[in-house]
Amino acid sequence: MKLIRTFGKSAAEATAVIQEIAARGATSTASVAPAVKKIVTDVKRKGDKAVREYAEQFDGLQPEQDILVDPSEMEAAWNALPKHLKAAMKEAAANIHAFAEAQMPEEWIIEPATGVRTGQVVRPLDAVGCYVPGGRYPLPSTLLMTTLPAQVAGVERIVVCSPKPGQETLAAAHLCGVSEFYRVGGAQAIAMMAYGTDSTPPVTRIVGPGNLYVTAAKQLVSQDCGIDMPAGPTEIVVTSDLGDALGIATDLVAQAEHDPETLAIFITTNELLAKEVQKQAKALARKNKLAKQSLEARGTIFICETPMEAQALTNLLAPEHLTIDRPEDLQWVRNAGSVFIGPQSPQSMGDYVSGPNHVLPTGRTGRLRGGLSVMDFVKLITVQQYTSRGLAKLGPHAIAMAEAEGLVGHAESVRVRLKP
Ligand SMILES: NC(=O)c1ccc[n+]([C@@H]2O[C@H](COP(=O)([O-])OP(=O)(O)OC[C@H]3O[C@@H](n4cnc5c(N)ncnc54)[C@H](O)[C@@H]3O)[C@@H](O)[C@H]2O)c1
Ligand SMILES: N[C@H](CO)Cc1c[nH]c[nH+]1
Ligand SMILES: [Zn+2]
């Protein structure tokens, strides 16, 4: 990892590095955009045939394999799963389910004036598509993180797409009661779910993480189909002056191993700690090819002059995962996908079993929203009802505002109801 002071002689260099990292979100999918556009257009035009061709080309789908997985295959995968993994998945599922239930928004009604009732009802989306990555590693944990909140929200049709799904992913699908699972990945999966084909109706929203191809495809279809957020190549920032170097280095390497495109950053005012983390991360990454690649390409340690500067830099980067030293540090955190507090909270716990979602915003989208939640699977529909008494009270105000806007029809629609 590159070590750089943000003050003194290297201040200008540090500013340039920070600007490059901060601009990454806006530009990162540009390199794959033309290829993705071709795939999405082909699937839109040729449907099932194109999906199949791309699945064979990119993910080794065999001619005799059906794209739609038979439920008996998922059941058999679950039955064959080792006992300890069954227990781990059940524990993770229970915690993710409980967390999603706690996040479920309430329905309510208020009475802003006598005879006026306003409120919200909560309704699930009709159909969602959950993308479960499967390129470099199988991610059964992502199947739990996407399908369980959708179930808690009450979504009726839950579609899963994953390239070359392994036994663990199929087993996780059985555990979560998934019945519509397609062995398709990449941009072709996103296009299939967004536009539908002869054999698959389109979904209302696509959720889930993925590599640059998946993320670019989600962005492309987002004019026609809802998406959750860019949840692209993993990002980690640790902002710490106190933490233990080995814990920090292992977290950086852990998240860096997802993809050579990942972003791993350590921010500190503690120069000794900075050097120790650099040394430990280098040693750990020696045995970890992907982590080594991404740490060498863009892994950075910033030594700041003051804690305030370290905090401002952290908020500027708006990282997907953020580790801070103490609960009090939460006060200064404004932009992040998910926060981990203290040296005993490895980010990997959040990846698997804690319960908060591991599908998280990348490319500085942490400025706008947190991770995937039940809120991505429901609509808050507002409701209002007047009695004649309520209309007599608020109606004249609406008429006044409508007339000010020159919208005479609006004014009249209220006035006719006020006549005795
Ligand atoms: N932000 C988050 O919440 C989060 C969570 C988990 C994982 N992730 C990220 O998800 C990603 C998973 O990536 P992955 O690659 O392992 O799996 P993936 O399933 O996202 O991508 C694999 C697909 O990419 C497509 N592809 C690969 N090379 C291609 C090419 N040259 N042309 C066209 N399409 C091509 C293929 O169709 C393949 O199916 C990683 O970047 C990881 O960091 C992010
Ligand atoms: N860290 C990933 C989110 O960026 C999620 C994950 C799944 N499995 C392991 N990790
Ligand atoms: Zn991870």
Query: What does the pLDDT look like over 378-410, one tens digit per residue?
Result: 999 999 999 999 999 999 999 999 999 999 999
Q: Quote ipTM for the complex.
A: 0.98
pLDDT digits (tens, 9 = 90+) for 20-76: 998 887 667 888 999 999 999 999 999 999 999 999 999 999 999 999 999 999 999
Provide the pairing of β-strand 116-124 with 378-386: antiparallel
Q: Verify whether ligand 2 is closer than 6 Å to residue 314 (CB atom).
A: no
139 lines ligand 2 (CB under 6 A): yes
Q: Say which ligand is closest to the CA of 165.
A: 1
Rounded Cα gap, residues 289 and 25, in angstroms:
24
Contact residues for 405 (Cβ-Cβ < 8 A; gap 6+): none
Which of 320, 328, 397, 412 is the catalytic position? 320
- Sign of the Cα pseudo-torsion (43, 48, 49, 54, in order): positive
The region, left, alpha or beta by phi > 0 then psi within -120 to 50, assigned to residue 357 is beta
Which CA distances in Å does 42 have to 179, 223, 312, 399, 411? 27, 17, 44, 52, 50
Q: Are 114 and 143 in contact (CB under 8 A)?
A: no
Give, using CA atoms, the residue closest to atom 4 of ligand 2. 234
Cβ atoms < 10 Å from Cβ of 104: 17
The four Cα atoms 98, 100, 101, 106 give a dihedral, to 10 degrees, of 160
Residue 321 a catalytic site member: yes
Give the residue ranges of the chain where pLDDT is below 50. none
Q: What is the DSSP string of 85-141?
A: HHHHHHHHHHHHHHHHHHHPPPPEEEEEETTEEEEEEEEE-SEEEEE---SSS--HH
| Annotated catalytic residue 168 | no
Q: How many CA atoms lie within 13 A of 306 on its CB side?
A: 3
Q: Are 323 and 348 in contact (CB under 8 A)?
A: no
Q: Which helix (H) or strand (E) holds 303?
A: strand 300-303
Residue with the smallest CA separation from ligand 1 atom 36 is 186
Instruction: Identify the pLDDT of residue 25.
Output: 73
Q: How far apart are the first and last CA of the chain?
A: 78
Please give the distance, rounded to the nearest whole angstrom, from the Cα atom of residue 167 to the centre of ligand 1. 19
* Domains of the chain with bracketed CATH: 2-28+233-355 (3.40.50.1980), 31-110+125-229 (3.40.50.1980), 387-418 (no CATH)
Is residue 351 in contact with ligand 2, taking CB distance under 6 Å? yes
| Nearest ligand to the C-alpha atom of residue 258 | 1
Do the annotations mark residue 255 as ligand-binding? Answer: yes
- The CB-side HSE value for 213 (13 A sphere, CA atoms) comes to 20
Taking the centre of ligand 2 as the mean of its atom positions, its distance from the CA of residue 126, in whole angstroms, is 27
Ligand 1 nearest-atom number relative to CA 136: 16
Do the beta carbons of residue 228 and residue 203 sit within 8 Å? no
327 CA to middle of ligand 1, Å? Answer: 34
Give the per-residue pLDDT at 158. Answer: 98
Q: Could you tell me the distance, in angstroms and rounded to a whole number, from the CA of residue 311 to the centre of ligand 1? A: 31
Return the number of other C-beta atoms located less than 10 Å from residue 224's C-beta: 11
Is this prediction's pTM over 0.80? Answer: yes
- Pairing mode, strands 116-124 and 127-131: unpaired
**Mean of all residue pLDDT scores within the chain:** 96
Show the tokens assigned to 347. Answer: 């980010």
Ligand 1 atom having least distance to the Cα of 164: 39
What is the residue-wise DSSP string for 6-65? SSGGGHHHHHHHHHHHHHHHHHTTGGGHHHHHHHHHHHHHHTHHHHHHHHHHHH---TTS
Q: How many CB atoms lie within 10 A of CB 299?
A: 26
Query: Is 70 flagged in the annotation as binding?
Result: no
Residue of 133, 155, 143, 112 whose CA lies nearest to 59 = 133
Give the pLDDT confidence score for residue 27 in this predicted structure: 64
Instruction: Note the pLDDT of residue 29.
Output: 84
Taking ligand 3, which is a single-atom ion, which protein residues have CB atoms under 5 Å away? Answer: 351
Name the CA radius of gyration of the chain, rounded: 25
Q: Can you tell me whether residue 419 is helix, strand or coil?
A: coil
CA–CA distance, 50 with 39 (Å, rounded to integer): 8
Helices (DSSP H) in 366-407: which residue ranges? 388-404
Integer CA distances (angstroms), 418 to 117, 163, 415, in order: 18, 62, 5
Separation of CA 259 and ligand 3 centre (Å): 10
Catalytic residue among 168, 180, 257, 321: 321
> Amino acid identity of 206?
I
What local confidence, expressed as pLDDT, does residue 24 receive?
81
- Closest among 204, 142, 197 to 168, alpha carbons compared: 142
Order of strands across the sheet with 116-124? Answer: 108-113, 116-124, 378-386
Q: Does 251 count as an annotated binding residue?
A: no
Pocket test for ligand 1, best of 214, 218, 255, 289 (most atoms within 8 A of CB): 214
